[in-house]
Structure 1
Amino acid sequence: MTTQPDCRADRELPAATDRSDRSPASDRLETIDCLRGVAALAVCCYHLTRSNLMTFDVPALRWLFGWGAAGVDIFFVISGFIIPYTMMCSAYRVSHFGAFFGRRLIRLAPPSWIQIASMLALFLAISATAGSGPAWMGAMSASRILHNLAYTVDFTRETWINPVFWTLAVEFQFYLLVGLAFPFVFAGKRAFVVTCVMLILLRHVPVVGDLPFLKHATLFLIGGAALLHRQSVLTIREYLILVAILTLVTAIRPGAVQAGFGCATALVISFMTVRSRIGVFLGNISYSLYLTHSLTAGLTATVLTRVIAPTTAGPKMIIIAAALALVIISSWLFYRIVERPFIELAKRTFPRPAERPRRSVELAF
């Protein structure tokens, strides 16, 4: 099978884009950037309104942002759409796997490693002054640090230094699968449905079914279905039926909230156009925001609670608002200083085939 995807906008969109000459692809990717921003901000607000991070609780805000953890599920659906989309645009073959995985590794791993180093530095600083590290960070060991750096914590008895990093392990497991199986999975509607059935069944196989990726695989598949609908491989009727089935399976595991947000994300990608400069800005810094918000917010709360007593709702909300503002500012700085240079390094080190002179963007299966 061959298809000709519209790849006129397969790069990150700047905040200021000429809206007078836009392609449907650019509108779709701006919508995805906005969804990324919403997802990262939702996770951040979820953690900011939890007493385990802020040391206090605001029941109204806890209720308001109780859904925020589902931002992770939005990210998974987006990955299921955008990663195969860029592979289509670069005429991906399995022989490109090394470059593909190397590009994702350079793009994502070093910023997370720098964040881990920052948390280790904090641990050592507190240990030197207080005699022991903060209780919420747990005990440090060479094994724990190495498994965090390799995203293999879920295969051991170790724990994550930064609790949100479990999602990076799931993402890398997805990259391994899609990088090796892309020519089959996206060869057509039958191949994609077979993949859906196989992954759903594998979730019930002992040992294998405990893989973190398999628990969330249906969310990535919902994103893949949205892509096949966009490429006219699936009719709207086939698409809606498949998404409904995948949503039902997701509701069983990992849960109904994840299923609802996963389904909603796919429908927004498929049928809505969202344009927002703020949304694109947040989308561009979403990975940095996701990586750094826990440490930045925790430090901010630690300092401000010594100045502003969080005894009533008012002071608590002031502390949360200040923490959120500092999280966004520090995330932007982290993006400019750390993340963006590694994005450029990944592009230079492992350029996509589409970035080299070529005659066609057709898929070659």
Structure 2
Amino acid sequence: MTFAAPPPSAPGPTGTEAAAPGSATVPTGIRTATVTRPRPRPPAGQPKPGKAPARRGRLGALDGLRLIAALMVACYHYGGRGGDISRAWDASPAQLFPALHSLFAYGCLGVQIFFVISGFVICMSGWGRTARSFLASRVSRLMPAYWVAILLVTLVFALPSVAWDATSPSDTLLNLTLLQEPLGAPRVLGVDWTLWVEIRFYALFAVCLVLPGVTRRRVVLFCVAWTLAAAIGQASGGTTAELVLMPEYAPYFIGGMGLYLLHRNRHDAMAWGIVVVSWLTGQHYAVADLWHTDSPKFFSYRSGWAIMLVVTAGFVLVGAIALGYLGWANRLRLTTLGALTYPFYLVHEHLGWVSVGTLHRSLGLPPGATLAASLAGMLLLAWLLNRYVERWATPLLRDRLLTVRA
């Protein structure tokens, strides 16, 4: 207990002076007794006093990395594989891009980088949210651009001048639910298999973390439990276990969540362990899935070392952003470019076939010019979708979901 005399020239109404925050003043005649109270302890799982609070500002560098991953996938779809894109080119991309084809073949690993980013972002955005708020944010973020992309691709494929077959009206309507993957129906968008993976991650995160309340301790337990359960599910070979636990994709989401814990506290030893184990298992699954030396169908020309390098680069770049080493990139105003990533990712593949076929076969543009023009056209379309669909539909849908009453 300390004592201090009030200033004689400015007495308060009760003869007391203002106390410092965290203390109480007790009138004692001429003098004032100041009682210092202990600071309240933070709830479990929250940063302790004296440590920097969690940084929740928009990370522009993450937006830039997200767009780079989307462009990697697009280059893979346009020049790093065969199938329908060979039909659009009327030739094999390996013949058209002899120097770049092998490099473009690694662009499919942009999906793994997406999943690491998703683990980071979902852990950050889900912290402190209710289940209803989390659900509203995810649905409003995914569905408006997705619905428009489904209708747009269906309409374009229905044109007489377009050589690709559209899905049936029934299958198109089912695709609007994003349940075509588990129900085995034809897909309107080839990339929507990754959205089905994301939805299962959101469901796990919501049930195991958002409902009880996200804390550091629960995130750590969830990451450890999911890692072990995914390994057991892989070993058991059970279809249901693999469907729920997603062993081949879990390491990327878990690694991203561990990186967010490091974003909150870079000295978190458990978070470092989660990230390292996730990287080790993630690179294993990537090599096992994408490197097959016995069949050209599975890209035997890809190097296992190169696959490991790309996966490692994804973890390292997200980690550098998490730890603040790429803070300078946050000043480059990459948020606008990052906003184009999702709509670009949705429309680039199938509409890219139409663009490539029109520009290269019909108009006679060289392969390099066709590739550049198709990428630019898809980015322009993504800007239009973001500007005239997402900017008003996303907040509108989110508000409606949050204000709905039982």
TM-score range, shorter chain: 0.7 to 0.9
1:48–1:297 contact (8 Å) kept in structure 2: yes
Name the structure 2 match of 1:46.
76
Q: Is the 8 A contact 1:184 1:191 kept in 2?
A: no
Q: Which residue of 2 aligns with 1:225?
A: 258
Give the equivalent residue in structure 1 for 2:7.
Answer: none
**Does the CA-based 8 Å contact 2:75-2:104 persist in structure 1?**
yes
Unpaired segments ≥5 residues, structure 1: 11-24, 353-365
Identify the residue that residue 348 of structure 1 maps to in structure 2.
Answer: 399
Q: Which amino acid aligns with 2:203?
A: L
Q: CA deviation at 1:260?
A: 2.9
Q: Deviations over 1:75-113 (max 9, x none)?
A: 11111111121122xx22xxx323321331122112112
Which of 147, 151, 162 does residue 178 from structure 2 map onto? 151
8 A Cα contact 1:39 1:74, kept in partner: yes
Per-residue CA shift, 1:42-84, capped at 9, x if unaligned?
Answer: 1122212145324242222222322211111111111111112
Q: Distance in 1 between matches of 2:280 and 2:350?
A: 36
Q: Is the 8 A contact 1:100 1:350 kept in 2?
A: no
Aligned to 2:326: 273
Output the amino acid matched with 2:259. A
Distance 1:289 1:98, change over 3 A: same
The DSSP-based 3-state class of the residue aligned with 1:3 is coil
CA shift, 1:35, in A, is 1.2
Aligned equivalent of 1:71, options 110, 126, 131: 110
Q: TM-score, normalised by structure 2?
A: 0.70
SS of 1:60's partner is: coil
Percent identical among aligned pairs is 26
Q: Does 2:287 align with 1:255?
A: yes
Larger relative helix fraction = 1
The structure with higher relative contact order (CA 8 Å, sep 6+) is 1
Report the equivalent of 1:242: 274
| In the alignment, structure 1 residue 302 sits paired with structure 2 residue 357 | yes
Q: What is the alpha-carbon distance in structure 1 between the residues aligned to residue 391 and residue 142 of structure 2? A: 10
Give the 3-state SS of the residue equivalent to 1:159 in structure 2. Answer: coil
Instruction: Render the CA deviation track for 1:167-223: whole Å, top value 9, x for unaligned.
Output: 111111111111111147744134542333233323334012332761311110000
User: 2:109–2:311: 8 Å Cα contact kept in structure 1?
Assistant: no
Matched, 1:181 2:233: no
For residues 348 and 37 of structure 1, do their structure 2 counterparts lie closer, same or farther at Cα, with a shift above 3 Å needed? same
Q: Partner of 1:211: helix, strand, or coil? A: helix
Query: What's the TM-score once normalised by structure 1's chain length?
Result: 0.77
Please tell me the root mean square deviation across aligned C-alpha atoms, in Å. Answer: 2.9
**Map of 2:147 onto structure 1:** 113
SS at 2:191's partner residue? helix
Larger Rg belongs to: 2
Deviations 1:216-247 (A, max 9, x none): 11110000100112222x73554443322222
Tell me if structure 2 keeps the 8 A contact 1:296–1:326: no
Task: Give the whole-Å Cα distance in 2 for the aligned partners of 1:316 and 1:212.
Answer: 42
CA distance in 2, matches of 1:171, 1:191: 17
